Amino acid sequence: MINLGSTAWSGYHADKDALRSEIWSRLKQAQAAVGEPFGHIPNFRGAEQAAEQLTTLPVWQQAQVVKCNPDSAQIPVRLRALQAGKCLYMAVPRLTDERCFVELQAEDLQQRQIALEDAAIARKALQYGRLVSFAEMQSIDLVMVGCVAVTRDGGRTGKGAGFADLELAMLKEFGLVRPETPIVTTVHPLQMVESARLPMQPHDWPLTWIVTPDAAIATHSVYPQPSGLDWETIRPEQYQKIPILRELREQAKL
């Protein structure tokens, strides 16, 4: 394995740190990554095909409101959501704004003569979309998350920052995500590992579907879904950097 050092979010779970490094190295050595994978939700060769595979699923076709992560690997997913006329929510990177989601609607973008291909790029979505608070959001029909490693039974890990789990927990607190809401990812096959390699913790949200360029895998996950925010697992730096967490903690009088 290539020793690429640590990332900003290393040190919280040694086994997961090692697994992420292994996956990033594997993608790089196989030339399956687009750009530098290390430290990121990796963009991968076949991301377009994986997004196309996703569009064949009934859970996608039936969804009117989609929440998607802002990473480059999921640009094709965000584009297809807009092309299909779905309401698209994208998290503000690192949740640094109290209104921590951007709302994108194809009709609005087209009226302003903004290309959907541009709006699907995260930095341009922040420019063209509308920042919204939880109170302004519609109930979400499908959640797309970025992953570094996944397992066939629904295990997943991101890059270690915990943003996806926090987003989902907050969305559930506000009643915007329900127990039956599908949690989906698109990944390269090299990102799939055996279940024993990826320990799931109580605050980790499991996947409902894993979509690769060649297959859509129903996980039939038995991992319990978190009930909402687990205040005991939220780290001090997360309170410092994520304004909405401080606000919610004050409301909960913790």
CB 11 within 8 A of CB 135: no
Tens-place pLDDT, residues 170-218:
899 899 999 999 999 999 999 999 999 998 988 899 999 999 999 999 9
Domain count of the chain? 1
Tokens encoding 121: 């790029």
For the stretch 107-165, pLDDT in tens is 999 999 999 999 999 999 999 999 999 999 999 999 999 999 999 999 999 998 778 88
Rounded distance between C-alpha atoms, residue 88 and residue 244, angstroms: 20
pTM for this predicted structure: 0.90
Q: Which CATH number goes with the domain that contains 207?
A: 3.40.50.10420
Residue 185 forms part of a structural domain:
yes
Asked whether residue 193 is domain-assigned, the answer is yes
- Is it the case that residue 54 has pLDDT exceeding 70? yes
The reply to whether 244 falls in a domain is yes
**Cα atoms found within 13 Å of the Cα of residue 167, Cβ hemisphere only:** 28
pLDDT digits (tens, 9 = 90+) for 26-39: 999 999 999 999 99
Beta strand segments in the chain, E: 65-68, 87-91, 101-104, 130-132, 142-144, 149-150, 156-157, 183-186, 209-211, 216-218
* pLDDT score, position 253: 62
**Beta bridge mates, 101:** 91, 132
Question: By residue range, what is the domain housing residue 91?
Answer: 12-218+227-254
Query: Would you say residue 162 lies in a domain?
Result: yes
Please give the distance of CA 195 from its chain centroid, rounded to a whole number: 20
Burial bucket for residue 190 (CB in 10 Å: 0-12, 13-18, 19+)? middle
Domain-embedded: residue 6 = no
